[in-house]
Amino acid sequence: MTKAEKVQFVINTLEDLYPETPIPLDHKDPYTLLIAVLMSAQSTDARVNTITPLLFEKADNPYDMVKLSVDEIRDIIKPVGLSPMKSKGIYGLSKILIEKHNGEVPADMEALEALPAVGHKTASVVMSQAFDIPAFPVDTHIHRLMYRWNLSNGKNVVQTEKDAKRLFPEELWNKLHLQIIYYGREYSPARGWKLENDIITRTVGRKSVIDDYLQKKA
């Protein structure tokens, strides 16, 4: 298979498996999505979805959020982990949104990345999922699978994002990054991975990854 054929196989398989791609984090607007994505760092979407309703009940917009103290925010979001940093970030970015953006989340990569506790991946998720602007946020699943599928060298997420954007058509990015995440969780996890269940890696995967798996199994 040529590289182009492999890429097309990935696209077709993911589209067959995941024709619909609901956004994993519960939210109702760009602000609540931004907060949910920020909270999801080194946590699970499922856990975040149990905590955000408690936070949003008290504050689901920047104006109400800054009425809470950093400590009050931290107490609510503690179960998602990294709460000292995340609570400061939530309070700080809410303040900046009021001061600089009329309380609105900007649909601009640079402006998003300038907000406290908002990195490139968080900004990419918000651009893609809140504003439908093409972006390719790379999480651990995408980073792992792009390496397994021999579509990126796995050196770092920056390189993985560049490779994904180069290989996949721009109009598919927003849906495709979610499809890859769903596939990674279901068929190609980091732990307890079974090549037998993973049709994409079985078909287009990196030879060394497949050989290593078969060797361990032998």
Residues 149-184: b if buried by 16+ CB within 10 A, e if exposed: bbbbebeebeebbebbeebbeeeebbbbbbbbbbbb
Radius of gyration of the chain (CA): 19
* CA–CA distance, 77 with 84 (Å, rounded to integer): 9
Q: Catalytic one among 6, 86, 139, 198?
A: 139
Active site residue 3: no
Q: Please, where are the H alpha helices in the chain?
A: 3-17, 30-39, 45-58, 62-65, 70-77, 83-101, 109-113, 120-131, 140-148, 157-167, 173-186, 199-204, 207-217
Q: Catalytic one among 121, 132, 163, 198?
A: 121
* CA–CA distance, 65 with 56 (Å, rounded to integer): 9
Active site residue 108: no
Task: State the catalytic residues.
Answer: 121, 139
